DNA sequence: CTGAAAGCGCTTACAG
DNA sequence: CTGAAAGCGCTTACAG
């Protein structure tokens, strides 16, 4: 009989099956090196099933000194298919090692410290960058940390990074190869992506300088036709013949604005995005864009995590993550 | 001095500050009703800081009998802006009550049972439907369960549900109002959304029947121009003059296919999507679509969760979640 | 104002 | 083949 209040414990199972808690633990955990008679084993299993017994994770974690959780901390940017796939791959890979992946959507820095103390995960995987003292605290608590970097800093070999500046540079290099000379940057008004946008713009500016072009004209777009149209008027006034957009959605807003202003793409202005979302190949003309290989990123992230977990070999940096997909807009 | 191995415990802090563990606990938890001298308090706080002490969540949960976690179980469908916003709102609301939200991306049914035992959350919020015995097990373990339903089943008042069939019906009702008589359904080849797609198609079929139209012509589309074009040829052959798409992305594939086949939208064929993603208003012509109010959904979810947590009043069913946004494609 | 002690539910040497 | 007992790190009546 379950106790009137609360969940049953191993003591309840022991009582119900007439054995000690030791035996219950041995049977339920399949502890190797023990020899429990089949009859006893049956009785214990039956009792556990009948009572709906589930071991207390808190007690188990306390006793074992660690949990079987991997905490993934997401940055405060919009979710998308890339992240989706990344988490999926990571969870699958870790499940094979009996680790559970739990995701924290990282709004609010303050809460993070509470959180990792609360769940006491084996490893924390940050898709956002951690402060140095945060990393110190976690390591001190015996938690492995796999970090993310927004930039190309490679000092920490486990750091997971997509070279954001390279993305911007690739956009400009392609536009220059197409003979464009006056480049505009179409950024985002979403504050959550500001870090990324800044890096990409740095890459755009550097590539313009390297090609002897003037500094890029900078604008931030909403995902609205009117916003794109306003930008398009400024571009026409400045003689812009090429637009590098923060991502494909912003590129779509730019395209809508150019269309509304009667400018021809790619005749008057070429446009290149980032992400290669499905819409990029479905609109007409198709959107030229920088594709990020989820496979390569996921493989790197998984490898870095396994490295932190059990000292598996470090993965090579994912150099082959980016490639350009050329379509009708350039 | 921290112990050579592992994290410091409250005993270490007690030793370092020359008080008992009781006092350490009182100080660190700000336990009301105790009167610790400011000097003692200072010493404890300093020692804790110096040692980098963080209480063991496992021990605390074991002692208290429950954790401060809310586990959100996501279904196995692609992430998107709606889910993003939903999680954001829920996390914000619960943070105000000192609850942490942790998200499990629910691939693999088997693992779920392990997971809730492992983290011993206060509440499990399912954005996917749970099996009845799963719910029973969780409740038996003292965990509140907030369930999701794929359909319009309203037996459980806490169940969170978007009326999927209503979505399909709204699409058809609009098409009929526009004078269309031969409706096709553009489904998805993504198996992860099969449940949703089925419900929406049921709504489409029912609305067709109600309007005296023939059964909808059914096709599943990839997010590729070629796939849309193949469907477009079939639609032309069957005299289809209206397409209800599973979502906006599929609608974009349909539009790309119709364009490739030289069919005019909305002249020859009208198209209506679901979701109102940014691209829907950025493409030309703009995509008519069924908008799901994230606000209403989030409010309902938050209310249902708070109800489970502390018996707050039940939210009204979110009837006002859906509305049609009419643009150029119909 | 502060401390000694019990107990949360497990697992695992150790002893039989 | 199985059990009594210790101990993981906390919190909290209870006693001073």
For the segment A84-113, what is each residue's pLDDT rounded down to a tens digit? 778 888 888 887 777 778 888 866 555 677
Tokens read off for B304: 């249902």
**Cα A161 to Cα A151: distance, rounded to the nearest angstrom:** 7
**Cα B183 to Cα A120: distance, rounded to the nearest angstrom:** 54
Domains of chain A are 10-55 (1.10.260.40), 67-162+295-318 (3.40.50.2300), 164-292 (3.40.50.2300)
**Cα A186 to Cα A219: distance, rounded to the nearest angstrom:** 5
pLDDT band at A152 (very low <50, low <70, confident <90, very high): very low
Beta-carbon separation of B103 and A102 below 8 A = yes
Residue corresponding to tokens 């369960």: B145
Tell me the chain B residues in contact with residue A67 when contact means C-beta distances shorter than 8 Å: 58, 118
For residue B299, give the 3-state DSSP assignment: helix
Angle at A103 between CA A101 and CA A105, to 5 degrees: 170
Question: Which among B125, B57, B6 is positioned nearest to A115, based on CA atoms?
Answer: B57
Beta-carbon separation of A91 and B107 below 8 A = yes
Residue corresponding to tokens 């563990």: B21
Tokens read off for A158: 């486990």
pLDDT band at B3 (very low <50, low <70, confident <90, very high): very low
- The per-residue pLDDT for B173 is 97
Q: How many angstroms separate the CA of residue B327 from the nearest CA in chain A?
A: 13
Q: Which of B13, B48, B57 to mutate to test the interface with A (most CBs of A within 10 A)?
A: B57
**Chain A: residue nearest B101 by CA?**
A104
Beta-carbon separation of B256 and A284 below 8 A = yes
Beta-carbon separation of A7 and B140 below 8 A = yes
Through-space separation of residue B150 CA and nucleotide D2 C1' in angstroms: 50
- The per-residue pLDDT for A1 is 34
- The per-residue pLDDT for A106 is 67
Through-space separation of residue A58 CA and nucleotide C8 C1' in angstroms: 10
Whole-number average pLDDT of chain A: 84
Whole-number Cα distances in Å, A301 to A136, A317, B192, B253: 21, 10, 24, 32
Beta-carbon separation of A279 and B284 below 8 A = no
> Is a pLDDT exceeding 80 seen at residue A204?
yes
- The per-residue pLDDT for B161 is 65
Nearest to B105 among A67, A91, A253 (CB): A91
Size of interface A-B (CB pairs under 8 A): 176
Number of Cβ within 10 Å of residue B267's Cβ equals 8
Cis peptide before B166 (omega within 30 of 0): no
Through-space separation of residue A63 CA and nucleotide C13 C1' in angstroms: 14
DSSP B216: P
Rg (CA), chain A: 27
Cis peptide before A285 (omega within 30 of 0): yes
Whole-number Cα distances in Å, A179 to A170, A330, B300, B319: 14, 10, 54, 54
- The per-residue pLDDT for B6 is 62
- The per-residue pLDDT for A11 is 86
**Cα B296 to Cα B290: distance, rounded to the nearest angstrom:** 15
Q: Are B99 and B70 in contact (CB under 8 A)?
A: yes
**Chain A: residue nearest B112 by CA?**
A100
Tell me the chain B residues in contact with residue A253 when contact means C-beta distances shorter than 8 Å: 278, 282
Q: Which of A57, A64, A191 to mutate to test the interface with B (most CBs of B within 10 A)?
A: A57
Beta-carbon separation of B140 and A224 below 8 A = no
Residue corresponding to tokens 């004209």: A217
Whole-number average pLDDT of chain B: 84
- The per-residue pLDDT for A74 is 84
Phi-psi region of A14 (alpha: psi -120 to 50; beta: other; left: phi over 0): alpha
**Cα A66 to Cα B329: distance, rounded to the nearest angstrom:** 57
Enumerate the H helices of A214-292 as residue ranges: 225-238, 248-260, 278-282
Footprint on protein of nucleic strand D, Cβ below 7 A: A 18-23, 26, 34-37, 40, 59, 62-63, 65; B 6, 9-11, 21-22, 24-26, 28-29, 31, 53-56, 59-60, 62-64
Whole-number Cα distances in Å, B270 to B184, B205, B285, B329: 10, 17, 11, 6
Through-space separation of residue A146 CA and nucleotide D7 C1' in angstroms: 32
Residue whose CA is minimally distant from D13 C1': B22
Q: Find and list the nucleotides of strand C having atoms within 7 Å of a protein beta carbon.
A: 1-5, 7-13
Angle at A320 between CA A296 and CA A269, to 5 degrees: 110
Nearest to A79 among B7, B83, B119 (CB): B83
Q: Find and list the nucleotides of strand D having atoms within 7 Å of a protein beta carbon.
A: 1-5, 7-13
Q: Are A117 and B57 in contact (CB under 8 A)?
A: yes
pLDDT over 70, % of chain A? 86
Q: How many angstroms separate the CA of residue B102 from the nearest CA in chain A?
A: 5
Nearest to A88 among B56, B105, B224 (CB): B105
**Chain B: residue nearest A87 by CA?**
B105
**Cα B247 to Cα B253: distance, rounded to the nearest angstrom:** 10
Question: Which among B326, B309, B56, B296 is positioned nearest to B158, based on CA atoms?
Answer: B309
Beta-carbon separation of B108 and A87 below 8 A = no
Through-space separation of residue B61 CA and nucleotide D3 C1' in angstroms: 28
Cis peptide before B21 (omega within 30 of 0): no
pLDDT band at B248 (very low <50, low <70, confident <90, very high): very high
Through-space separation of residue A312 CA and nucleotide C8 C1' in angstroms: 37
pLDDT band at B186 (very low <50, low <70, confident <90, very high): very high
- The per-residue pLDDT for A297 is 79
pLDDT band at B151 (very low <50, low <70, confident <90, very high): very low
Higher pLDDT, B316 or A291: A291
Q: What pLDDT digit, counting tens, does each position of A271-299 carry? A: 999 999 999 999 989 999 999 887 787 78
Beta-carbon separation of A281 and B224 below 8 A = yes
Phi-psi region of B290 (alpha: psi -120 to 50; beta: other; left: phi over 0): beta
Q: How many angstroms separate the CA of residue A77 from the nearest CA in chain B?
A: 9
Q: B108-144 b/e with 16+ CB inside 10 Å = b?
A: eeebbebbbbbbbbbbbbbbbbbeeebbebbebbebb
Q: How many angstroms separate the CA of residue A252 from the nearest CA in chain B?
A: 6
Cis peptide before A280 (omega within 30 of 0): no
> Is a pLDDT exceeding 80 seen at residue B254?
yes
pLDDT band at A312 (very low <50, low <70, confident <90, very high): low
Q: What pLDDT digit, counting tens, does each position of A110-127 carry? A: 567 767 776 778 888 888
**Cα A145 to Cα A135: distance, rounded to the nearest angstrom:** 7
Beta-carbon separation of B103 and A101 below 8 A = no
């Amino acid at each position: 009989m379950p106790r009137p209040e609360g969940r049953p414990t191993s003591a309840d199972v022991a009582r119900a099956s007439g054995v000690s808690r030791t035996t219950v633990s041995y049977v339920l955990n399949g502890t190797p090196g023990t020899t429990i008679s089949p009859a006893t084993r049956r009785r214990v299993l039956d009792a556990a099933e009948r009572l709906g017994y589930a071991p207390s994770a808190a007690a188990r974690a306390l006793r074992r000194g660690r949990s079987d959780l991997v905490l993934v901390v997401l940055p405060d940017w919009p979710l998308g298919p890339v992240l989706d796939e990344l988490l999926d791959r990571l969870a699958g890979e870790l499940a094979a090692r009996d680790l559970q992946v739990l995701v924290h959507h990282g709004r609010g820095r303050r809460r993070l410290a509470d959180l990792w103390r609360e769940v006491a995960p084996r490893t924390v995987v940050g898709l956002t960058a951690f402060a140095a003292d945060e990393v110190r605290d976690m390591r001190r608590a015996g938690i492995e940390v796999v970090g993310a970097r927004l930039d190309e800093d490679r000092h920490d070999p486990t750091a997971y990074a997509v070279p954001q500046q390279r993305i911007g540079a690739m956009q400009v290099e392609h536009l220059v190869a197409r003979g464009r000379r006056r480049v505009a940057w179409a950024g985002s008004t979403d504050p959550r992506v500001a870090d990324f946008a800044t890096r990409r713009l740095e890459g755009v500016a550097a590539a313009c300088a390297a090609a002897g072009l003037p500094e890029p004209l900078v604008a931030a777009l909403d995902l609205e036709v009117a916003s794109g149209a306003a930008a398009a008027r400024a571009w026409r006034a400045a003689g812009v013949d090429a637009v590098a957009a923060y991502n494909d959605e912003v590129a779509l807003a730019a395209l809508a604005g150019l269309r509304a202003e009667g400018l021809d793409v790619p005749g008057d202005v070429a446009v290149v995005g980032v992400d290669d979302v499905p819409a990029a190949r479905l609109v007409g003309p198709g959107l030229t864009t920088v594709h990020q290989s989820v496979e390569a990123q996921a493989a790197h992230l998984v490898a870095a995590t396994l490295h932190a977990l059990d000292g598996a070999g470090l993965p090579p940096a994912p150099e082959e993550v980016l490639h350009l997909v050329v379509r009708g807009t350039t």
